[in-house]
Amino acid sequence: MAIKILIVEDERSIVKLLRAILIANQYEVIDASTGAEAMSMITSHCPDLILLDLGLPDMDGNSLLQSVRKWTTTPIIVVSARTHELDKVEAIDLGADDYITTPFGSSELLARIRMALRHTRTTSPNAQIAQTGEFRSGGLVIDYNKYRVFVDGIDAQLTQGEYRLVALLGKYAGRVLTYDFIMKELWGPCSKSDNKILRVNMANIRRKIEKSTTNPKYLFTEVGVGYRMADGESESSVD
């Protein structure tokens, strides 16, 4: 799937230039010419990266930056004619990942985009799952130190995505986690609303860890609500 970039800019000539550079480099491009339009596009289109102009007709780019940063870690690169050091400092303090002044060279722009994208991809979106130790329920063991799941002593060979899902359910074992909660925890606040990716992951996990997928021991579906991991065991309990 192509990486989607949102250009927030009211000057059509700059939008045109940015579009041409990005499309030539296989990025998918959407654009907004006002702050209000940008806000709605961010929530509805979930771009992978945002190029933001500071001088927008309806609001200052910095206020937009500030409100967007309250709920998403999507990388934002400010593209501005303001060259003053304090303008850069302010934007970066408000959460911009980078700052490019116009006029810019296309190679520099592309390099900065790659850098910003690399940065987000290596940062875990959910520090909440991070925990140490082990979770045990019957023959199931989640080893939070090794990032592995074992069933009756055998490594279930989960993919990274599957592991993250099991790790999250294990952390809240015994409680029903709604689809929405899981999606937000694993894929961030801008996660797509459809749960297909979740259902596919869950089906794969069940094949790997349940003896019978129709009569599960560990992972339960609460129809129309979400999923629940079986209760964990305390130190002294038996199977």
Indicate which single residue of 53, 97, 98, 162 sits in contact with Ca ion (rule: CB under 5 A): 53
Say how many residues touch Ca ion, by CB under 5 A: 3
CB of 165 to Ca ion, least distance (A): 42
CB of 17 to Ca ion, least distance (A): 13
d(CA 71, CA 63): 14
Indicate which single residue of 4, 10, 176, 184 sits in contact with Ca ion (rule: CB under 5 A): 10
Q: Is 28 helix (H, G, I), strand (E, B) or coil?
A: strand
CB-nearer residue toward Ca ion: 55 or 105 = 55
Distance of CA 126 to CAs 38, 168, 182, 184, 187, Å?
A: 25, 10, 11, 9, 8
C-alpha torsion sign, points 59, 62, 66, 71: positive
CB-nearer residue toward Ca ion: 34 or 126 = 34
Q: Is 55 in the site for Ca ion (CB under 5 A)?
A: yes
Neighbours of 106 (CB within 10 A): 14
**Main-chain dihedrals φ then ψ at residue 47, nearest 5 degrees:** -65, 155
CB-nearer residue toward Ca ion: 35 or 47 = 35
CB-nearer residue toward Ca ion: 49 or 78 = 78
CB of 69 to Ca ion, least distance (A): 20
Contacts within 8 Å (CB) and 24+ apart, 192-200: 192/46, 198/165
Interface region with Ca ion, contact rule CB under 5 A, candidates 28-36, 48-56, 90-98, 169-177 = 48-56
Q: Please give the residue ranges that form the binding site for Ca ion (CB under 5 A).
A: 10, 53, 55
